[in-house]
Amino acid sequence: MAVSLRGRAYQIMAGAAMNRVIPAGLLAALLLAGCGGQSAAPTQPPLAGARIGGPFTLINQDGRPTSERDFAGRYRIMYFGYTFCPDVCPTDVQTIGAGLKALEQRDAAKAAKAVPIFVSIDPERDTPVVVKEFVANFHPRMVGLTGPLAAITQVAKKYGVYFAKQKPGASGSYLMDHSRQAYLMSPDGQPMALLPTEAGPEKVADELERWIT
């Protein structure tokens, strides 16, 4: 069942209660977008003006330095996760990829303007080779990014994404705690909307179709 923007705002707040990194502008934008009940479709993206995003330099799945400038002129779907995630990350990334494919069926020209980007928050294990194998499973144009932990931490903070490494088990394996949101960013790198990955590919396609021009 689809979740309202107001409901999703509280989900994000609850999921990030320990981290204190979700920007106030993001939460305010989500809450304001949820006001008014069944009002007419907004003329501006719900996250317009929120302080989300910014410059970064990471390493892509082919081992090349990649910055936000490499995506200038294209809409960006930004998702942060890790390849060893047992459930949430592959489910969300699958939904993002399937949502973009659904839009390709509706409007190929519009879909071609968007690039899905997966940013690893687990660089200890997510080397470019590992990330490349992961993103190839979900969409042929999906870009995978990794890099030094310090650089990833800076990027995650700019996007209001919390993550933390859990204590390793006896085998040395571990999980990562992280917040869960997929952003649609404009061609000039400004935040536009949260994609409803919990609602399935068609709803993601609806949101992409609504804001990509």
Residue 191 belongs to a domain? yes
Residue 119 belongs to a domain? yes
Put simply, whether the predicted model's pTM sits higher than 0.85 gets the answer no
Distance from C-alpha of 58 to C-alpha of 74, rounded to nearest angstrom = 18
The confidence score (pLDDT) of residue 43 equals 81
Residue 126 belongs to a domain? yes
Residue 44 belongs to a domain? no
Distance from C-alpha of 197 to C-alpha of 189, rounded to nearest angstrom = 21
Residue 36 belongs to a domain? no
What is the chain's Cα-based Rg?
A: 16
All residues at 6 or more sequence positions from 208 whose CB lies less than 8 Å from its CB, including other chains: 75, 77, 99, 100, 103, 110, 111, 114, 184, 195
Residue 85 assigned to a binding site: yes
Residue 35 assigned to a binding site: no
Domain containing residue 114: 52-211
Residue 199 belongs to a domain? yes
Distance from C-alpha of 159 to C-alpha of 53, rounded to nearest angstrom = 5
Residue 10 belongs to a domain? no
Residue 139 assigned to a binding site: no
The confidence score (pLDDT) of residue 42 equals 63
The confidence score (pLDDT) of residue 37 equals 45
Residue 110 belongs to a domain? yes
The confidence score (pLDDT) of residue 26 equals 53
Q: What is the CATH number of the domain that holds 144?
A: 3.40.30.10
Number of domains observed in the structure of the chain = 1
Q: For every one of its 213 residues, what pLDDT tens digit does the chain have, with 9 covering 90 and above?
A: 333 343 344 334 334 433 334 454 455 444 444 444 444 556 899 999 999 999 999 999 999 999 999 999 999 999 999 999 999 999 999 999 999 999 999 999 999 999 999 999 999 999 999 999 999 999 999 999 999 999 999 999 999 999 999 999 888 899 999 999 999 999 999 999 999 999 999 999 999 999 999
